[in-house]
Amino acid sequence: MKDLESIEDFVDKAPWHFATTMQYIPHSYTVRGQTPVEEFEAFVRFIRSEGQIASYGNFRTTYLKLGHHKYWTMGEPINNTTIINRCHEDDEFGEVRDITGNEVEERRRRWEALDDQDKQLCWRQALERH
């Protein structure tokens, strides 16, 4: 991917799946093999070359702000990277900055304190953004 247009094309055509494993941190992901491998790896390289390093609790990686989302991987070598994640800028952790473990834990506590109806409302709102 040599230009912004090809990067945006990849982002637009990649199938993004809403993550259900961390309900209190709404984000989506796309998986290697659901798009051409060359394009997937090129986007991973772009994230790492053009993004900013920041922390999420104890996890430190490179985040790329593009359009209304931030993108990141889990830091594996490019040929071992299987997932690209993204979070909408309107979500609590959608900006590229250091996020402390205390902030993550507080978000988890607030989520757990919600009743099921409020959790469903939060999910619907997050799904609309993703």
Least confident of 20-24, 25-29, 70-74, 91-95: 91-95
Gap between the Cα atoms of 38 and 113, Å rounded = 43
Question: What pLDDT is stored for residue 91 in this prediction?
Answer: 78
Question: What pLDDT is stored for residue 2 in this prediction?
Answer: 61
Residue span of the structural domain in which 77 resides? 4-129
Domains in the chain, number: 1
Gap between the Cα atoms of 116 and 113, Å rounded = 10
* Structure tokens that stand for 28 in this block: 């989506």
Q: What percent of the chain has pLDDT over 70?
A: 92
Q: N- to C-terminal Cα distance for the chain?
A: 23
Please return the burial class of 18, using the count of CB atoms within 10 Å of its CB with bins 0-12, 13-18 and 19+: middle
Give the pLDDT confidence of 52-104 residue by residue, as tens digits.
Answer: 998 888 888 999 999 999 999 999 999 999 999 999 888 776 677 777 888 88
* Structure tokens that stand for 91 in this block: 């979500």
Gap between the Cα atoms of 16 and 28, Å rounded = 6
Please provide the average confidence, as pLDDT, over all residues in the chain: 86
Gap between the Cα atoms of 31 and 57, Å rounded = 24
